[in-house]
Structure 1
Amino acid sequence: MSIARARLAVIIVSYCNADDVDRCLRSLARSDLDQFEVLICENGGEAAYTNLLARLVGPDRILKRISNDSDVLDLPQKRLASVASCRFQARANVVRIGLAIDNLGYGGGVNAWLEPLLSVPDWDAVLVLNPDTEVDPRALSELVAKSAAGYGMVGGNLVFDASPDKIINYGLHWSRMTGRVIAIGRNAPVGSTPSAENLAKIDAISGACVLATRACVEDVGLMAEDYFLYMEDLDWGLRRGKHRIGIADKAVVRHIGGTTIGSAVTIEKRSDLSIYLSARNSILYARRFAGWRWICHFGIGLLYAARYLIRGSSSAGKVALAGLLDGVNGKTGRPKVVPGAR
């Protein structure tokens, strides 16, 4: 069975969260855009991969298996040990589910599909999408239309799942003075358009939902992998060069957030891994892009670590401090053990 290449490739990185992926796929199946295919990378190992296939594929599931071995993407790839070729039950869009050879992190999971995708012709853009998102029916077509107007990286209205009338952010701004990441447009009403002033502040589109054109990806390159998780979207955006950022204000995407790593806002619910990586990667990023100012960023990071102590979570403060120090020492990649973890 030979299926022509779709114009948009949607990449989803999963880590043992099959229910999230299923919900995301069901929203994609309602899209008004015809020409897209989905590429999923399961980072959680063979048991998670088997569970994901069982959750997604079957007569009473969202997908059915197909035989499409004429396409190079249906074969195991450099960092994908297995690939299951499927399609939606009710439409012809192809969905490929790949098993990563290891836990590659977010950037690595994206690149596991993006790298081989760059070697094949006939696609125009890639949409990196978190598994814990749901896209409105018009979202894909609105994002694609905005990119066609001359924008290399495009975001939409990323909204809170619990408060879908409020914007999480249009994009992200990184303060070169303090190192803090600011969500532009946070709590703005859904459907609103960012002002020219706010649009000019956006350094990157959130990795929860970012469309990049092929020309942009070919110029900018793959996502940075050594952060493992967090800051790879800002890194990608800051490297975009001549490629403009655009916002498709009618593309609504609901985002639950924190379902994989536990990156909830409150200290009590935030995981040690989330605290550690946020602290470590803020310093790694600053050392690359802030010059000598990274020392100031480190000082501000210490104040944030102290805030955990003041709020009664000494263990979280110790984890944050360990992350900051590992950032100073240039430690990258997946942490085998989170220092100071509870």
Structure 2
Amino acid sequence: MDGSIKEAESTQTAQRVAAVAVVIVGFKNADDIAGCLTALSASLPSPGFDIFICENGGRPAFEQLLDELLQADGPCAPATDFECSDQFQSATFVDVHRLRLRERPGCDVWIGCASGNLGYAGGINAWLGPLAERDGWKGVWILNPDTEPERGALAALVEHAEATGKAMVGSTILDGDGSRSVRFRGGVHWQKLRARSVAIGLGDRADALHDVQLIEREMDSPSGASMYVTRACIEAIGPMDERYFLFFEDLDWGVRAKQFGLGYASASIVAHKRGTTTGSAKAPGEIPKLTVYLEHRNGIHFVRRHFPWALPLRVAASCLYSLRFLLRNAPGNSLAAIHGMAAGLMGEVGQPSWHRNQAK
């Protein structure tokens, strides 16, 4: 009898998740993820969190990530106390491993090997689905793999959400070059008449004076590099839209959540290397074709969904970007912008077939 009770209690504990679920999507960037987890290891003791990683890069990338995290100087150690990786097995993941943060023994690190390249939204949703069946967590912290949060970043997000009742809260995102230069204060503002998003606070010094309430009024979405989303919000608006595959899915999610309140926790500081996965921080001619293509395809989808009257403006914006690529000696990406725009107008969604074929 006692043994049955203990087994039931052990199973129940294993099915509970800490107060915050940190969700990260990787694609063949084990070094970035190791750096992110090392930074998370130094987080304040409260709130507690567990980490859920979706590796979109296939079995070799999954194995490399495990090796990187489990090195002698890596952030993780094997979880030997209770092996229950099978509780998260599904058709979405072909394998799941459970580790723990070495410097934070109570923190589980779940790593799922995706059955294919699910895209960013698909990678997030691969964990949101099973998490919906688990008790304990009150919010999800979406983090880019190439971020390094400061010690109090998560605590500031949760405190702001709970103090203000905001459904989604963004951080102060700094360029990852040590300059303390702001990339985002909270998130982005959508310029309706120019059919494009702009980063709020871009170029500010981290310690510059700012008006949090004004920023929150301007925000149309937190930055996807660091966004805290309450469980109630996810239950109200649903998961990310996987039709985008990559780019605009976070902005779309934020706009859908705006009716429930968007917040900015200025004390939540997160350094972001920018573009190590997508290549979006490179020179015009070096940006991957997929990045340019999806930016312009998904811009069409986003505008058509939320601001349909502005569709001609978005088409014009893509044409101008195409011309700019051409003038900067990047003819390949000039064509990619036009092809992406056309694909959006024709209704293409998900992973482009040409990219899927290249990956085989």
TM-score tier, shorter chain, comes to over 0.9
In structure 2, which of residues 49, 60, 66 is the aligned counterpart of residue 53 of structure 1?
66
Q: By how many angstroms is 1:268 displaced? A: 2.9
Determine whether 1:87 maps to 2:100.
yes
- The answer to whether the Cα contact below 8 Å between 1:204 and 1:236 also exists between their aligned partners in 2 is yes
Residues 19-58 of structure 1 mapped to structure 2, 5 A cutoff: 19-34=31-46, 35-58=48-71
Aligned residue type for 1:65 = P
Gaps of 5+ in 2: 1-9
Q: Distance in 2 between matches of 1:319 and 1:173?
A: 25
Match of 2:205 in 1: 189
Aligned residue type for 2:140 = V
- More helix per residue: 2
Gaps of 5+ in 1: none
SS in 1 for 2:244: coil
Match of 1:291 in 2: 308
Match of 1:127 in 2: 141
Match of 1:233 in 2: 250
TM (norm. structure 1) is: 0.94
Match of 1:99 in 2: 113
Aligned residue type for 2:255 = L
TM (norm. structure 2) is: 0.89
- The answer to whether the Cα contact below 8 Å between 1:161 and 1:255 also exists between their aligned partners in 2 is yes
Match of 1:5 in 2: 17
Match of 2:221 in 1: 204
Q: Which moved more, 1:118-127 or 1:75-84?
A: 75-84
Match of 2:352 in 1: 335
Aligned residue type for 2:341 = L
Match of 2:193 in 1: 177
Match of 2:3 in 1: none
Aligned residue type for 2:307 = A
Match of 2:260 in 1: 243
Match of 2:5 in 1: none
- The answer to whether the Cα contact below 8 Å between 1:73 and 1:116 also exists between their aligned partners in 2 is no
Match of 2:231 in 1: 214
Q: How many percent of aligned residue pairs carry the same amino acid?
A: 35
Match of 2:129 in 1: 115
Cα separation, partners in 2 of 1:221 and 1:312, compared to 1, 3 Å: same
- The answer to whether the Cα contact below 8 Å between 1:157 and 1:191 also exists between their aligned partners in 2 is no
- The answer to whether the Cα contact below 8 Å between 1:108 and 1:228 also exists between their aligned partners in 2 is yes
Match of 1:151 in 2: 166
Aligned-pair RMSD on alpha carbons? 2.0
Q: Distance in 1 between matches of 2:181 and 2:22?
A: 25
SS in 1 for 2:279: coil
- The answer to whether the Cα contact below 8 Å between 1:160 and 1:167 also exists between their aligned partners in 2 is yes
Aligned residue type for 1:178 = R
Q: Distance in 1 between matches of 2:31 and 2:288?
A: 20
Q: Distance in 2 between matches of 1:332 and 1:156?
A: 30
Determine whether 1:302 maps to 2:324.
no
Match of 1:258 in 2: 275
- The answer to whether the Cα contact below 8 Å between 1:164 and 1:254 also exists between their aligned partners in 2 is no
CA deviations 1:70-116 (Å, max 9, x no partner) are: 76884313411211011012222111111111100000000000111
- The answer to whether the Cα contact below 8 Å between 2:220 and 2:258 also exists between their aligned partners in 1 is no
SS in 2 for 1:285: helix
* Aligned residues between the structures: 340
SS in 1 for 2:354: coil
SS in 2 for 1:94: strand
